[in-house]
Structure 1
């Protein structure tokens, strides 16, 4: 809780034009931590001009390191994207299989269920079901897990738009007996957990036996 309050206070101070050094002195937080918290809050030219020489050097150094880090990550991103894509149908199936291993339901007897808070992960799950399992999108259903202070209609609208689902593909959401606003840590992507489901025993067996084959393969290794 104290960490969250420190971050909020740091952002407030930054918005008033305080430097990293000034915020560090007031809150006792390291500059590396502040760099992460305040990366989206650069000083304006006017605010930068009001700092003393030492503070300007610190700000310039942190800014230079941030730019260099972003350049390095962009180079790695471009390289990995080129190596990964395009995905073959087999690549796509195996990628989805491993996602299901970590995030999929194993106890639903007649269904495949995939859950996550990240819209991109659920979008991939839908694409995987459509393009490797041969499921039509309108045959996939969804259910949201939400906190009791979240607006149900707003969240269904959000996920409906993200996934390209019709409203009638969503069943009644599960509502947790706690408030999102009361939490002291970040909760996923802010729109609850989305579970997508297909009711098909044959496809369930295909996926779970595929996972069993993977498990058996690596369990057999010495």
Structure 2
């Protein structure tokens, strides 16, 4: 897979151009699946209106980019249906659009649903925002642990070898300062990126590239 890991979606031309470059055809010819699951696990954002706004493209910069089609892949429903009803759909899609919310809740349902095992074999471009990006890391760090998984462990997918601190210096999140990011990074065992909404991390064939029109910083362990 190719990964475009964002704080708040495709917020500027540089991130948009990076996405287009990762696709093998124009956005208007790509079929997408959006995954709202992470929203349900976070007390600030779901369930309810925020999930609807994500799915309909009213509150983000992912679903409303002009895809040929957008479907919904709800991970909490997948364990209750046969794999042949959803696995071919995922294998055929061009792009996965993954909402923010609670990263550990998202990871739990990626495992429970079987999507975790499927991801490495997909040809799709994975575009995450906030928790949808953070879940790619080996773990998210104590600062971001909200929903507690059944095993009580801060563990995520580990499909990239770095961690992310999104929404850096966001006006609605006054605690997300560079000083807070530095303290968070000190507890991580992998390289850690603090990134604002104008920044994304592009990963293709293991090569990492920061795409930014804003502010970001890499902390080494």
Q: Using structure 2 for the length normalisation, give the TM-score.
A: 0.23
Considering fraction of residues, name the structure with more strand.
2
Greater relative contact order, per chain length (Cα 8 Å cut-off, separation 6+): 2
